[in-house]
Structure 1
């Protein structure tokens, strides 16, 4: 079935795709958003389960630095649609925002569903149509888009196309990364997709794993190479994850890919002076158990004590045989050997994607005139904290504006 049209095709109904659709509709374009899933914004809704961290309130220069090597490529798009613009956009949809104690920005509703519902209503009022359960399978010989739909194969010929298919994390929500082969066949250079903001595997002992699986290490400081991150880490059955781990995940991932392992050091009492710990650990233990002594003398939680015991076993030593000095040093630098990266399907986001060399300043693919790309498909990564959604929204805006220029239209102010 062929469906020639004057519309612009957006492929992917996540934040980047829907934002591109909004910009294009505001500019007067006829827009259809295609998505393989039965409903829009599934990964966006999943992000909202933790409170929907939309963006961050830190000064823009520091904000932009979070994108590391990709910063020069994302700078113009984020400056054109900065964090305050995203907050204003949310509030125009009836979802007021606030800045949390960490500087992160959230909707007051603290979830994604009210924002997504209001957004879809506005897009509908602007004439944007959703074509759900439409899985894009590439282009035919005439350069038309091909889709598999419940009604059978569909071919459409839009005036322009915006690709916003996401990365490869949480594939059950729609971002499965299968677009890689399609674009590679067109000669588009793609950096390998890798887990970002992911957990890592550790060969825990059965005793430690069974007792502490799912428990958090709170208020710790994690160090790898020259990088230190304060926060929380969670022990999983197969390893370790959590906010502080995610912040170091890029460096840890690259080390494991290069060397096959990485050694993470965990300070269990980062605010305590080592000398003070030594003094407290030198006190008489009396009749109390060693674990109870550690709990009182060093203010350690059961999981922190368990991690000390796990580290001592790994090194072939008894925790009770350590001197107060060695014990204090261990508390401030417990070594955990990471031996692998958690699967990309469980990662929060994805590193790698379409090389920025393949895009012009309007986010159009140089090899495919009239085809634009946005969001997590592109070769960038960022820590959690609002940076992921901000770049997805901002590149969606940039691709939408680029497509409007391609159509010869002037975007609305």
Structure 2
């Protein structure tokens, strides 16, 4: 097959978005997906409610994304545009108190069904179980399909194959050697939005699965409120994910277990309790620490200082002995991928003219909370529009 056809490889949000943009411009599109069904990671994200985007000011929103190319994409397709896109698919939305935007149904599947139906109506040819296996002469795409080997020579191509996190859902980075062989610069993948290993003592076993609430996480550069979970493997959850990039890159972590009180106020409260009481009782009575926070004090704070002020300082800056980041296969997303220097402003691969890339294939990071999905939608839209423009009218 040659000329006149656009090829999109990858059936996640970035690929679906790119395919829709190209079809809307009046071009024929083939969408190839290696898995039996589309958007598996999107559906998995929807199990916890599908946080589509974050309704906030554009300056704060853009600051959440690394990389100038992705920043440009989200500037053109920000929270308002993401919400309009979802509503156009018939999805009713609501915004939570923190600005997080969700479908009213708290599910991804209705939105995905409507999205696929729209693409089919636009003439997008969806091919599942089509695994990309090779690239010849920078233009011929080889696939392993249920009908055997297939070769396509499209006019333009958008690659949206995901990064290297959650490989069981399709993002296995099998594309890396194929693009590297063609001279595309790719930064090594590293886990992002991930937990960290902790070498727990036996006394922490009863607390596995328990949330830690009402604390502040303090890194080398910032202080943020957040909730996380104690697991058998270590620390996980949104509060940890929010600072995970900095921790991965070497920042220490401390916990402020009573962030609404000053050191002086904490010391005063502790000082009012008789020193004849055990340290645990003094902290429980003075500060009303719940069992989980008390357990963390015993785990990481010993030997506890005897003086009220020194003990207050320990409670306000409890050091966390982080182990290694959890591996890529467990991470929500990945840093690394196709570098900014390997791309044009329109996400075209400079080493492979006519081939564009979008989504988690690109080297960018953003926290959880709607930013990852929004970034994939925005880059898919940008790549799709640029590919359509290259095809002409």
Length-normalised TM-score, structure 2 = 0.95
TM-superposed deviation, 1:373: 0.4
Distance 1:195 1:372 in 2: 24
Correspondence 1:304 to 2:290: no
Correspondence 1:220 to 2:204: no
Instruction: Name the structure 1 match of 2:324.
Output: 340
Aligned residue among 107, 110, 114 for 1:111: 107
> Map of 1:124-163 to 2, 5 A cutoff?
124-141=120-137, 143-163=139-159
The SS at the match of 2:144 is strand
Give per-residue Cα distances to partners, 1:196-244, cap 9 Å, x unaligned. 1111112211221x12111111021011112212111211212112112
Change (3 A) 1:142 1:241: closer
Correspondence 1:358 to 2:342: yes
Distance 2:89 2:99 in 1: 22
The more displaced of 277-286 and 192-201 is: 277-286
Give per-residue Cα distances to partners, 1:14-64, cap 9 Å, x unaligned. 000000011011111111111111100100011112211111111111111
> Map of 1:36-185 to 2, 5 A cutoff?
36-68=34-66, 70=67, 72-141=68-137, 143-185=139-181
Distance 2:138 2:363 in 1: 28
TM-superposed deviation, 1:284: 3.8
Length-normalised TM-score, structure 1 = 0.91
Correspondence 1:6 to 2:4: yes
Distance 1:369 1:286 in 2: 74
Instruction: Name the structure 2 match of 1:247.
Output: 242
Correspondence 1:398 to 2:387: no
Count of aligned pairs: 393
Distance 2:306 2:178 in 1: 58
Instruction: Name the structure 1 match of 2:22.
Output: 24
Q: Is the 8 A contact 1:54 1:105 kept in 2?
A: yes
Q: Is the 8 A contact 2:271 2:308 kept in 1?
A: yes
Change (3 A) 1:397 1:291: same
TM-superposed deviation, 1:79: 2.5
> Map of 1:185-224 to 2, 5 A cutoff?
185-208=181-204, 210-224=205-219
Instruction: Name the structure 2 match of 1:282.
Output: 271
Change (3 A) 1:358 1:284: closer
Distance 1:163 1:354 in 2: 11
TM-superposed deviation, 1:164: 0.2
Change (3 A) 1:142 1:224: closer
The SS at the match of 2:45 is helix
Instruction: Name the structure 1 match of 2:371.
Output: 387
TM-superposed deviation, 1:274: 2.1
**Structure 2, unpaired ranges of 5+:** none
Q: Is the 8 A contact 2:360 2:376 kept in 1?
A: yes
> Map of 1:321-340 to 2, 5 A cutoff?
322-340=306-324
Q: Is the 8 A contact 2:31 2:125 kept in 1?
A: yes
TM-superposed deviation, 1:379: 0.8
The SS at the match of 2:184 is coil
Distance 1:119 1:306 in 2: 47
The SS at the match of 1:106 is strand
TM-superposed deviation, 1:141: 4.8
TM-superposed deviation, 1:74: 2.2
The SS at the match of 1:10 is strand
Q: Is the 8 A contact 2:14 2:378 kept in 1?
A: yes
The SS at the match of 2:226 is strand
Distance 1:229 1:150 in 2: 50
Q: Is the 8 A contact 1:5 1:156 kept in 2?
A: no
Distance 2:146 2:177 in 1: 23
TM-superposed deviation, 1:5: 6.3
The SS at the match of 1:337 is coil
The more displaced of 87-96 and 140-149 is: 140-149
Distance 1:282 1:159 in 2: 75
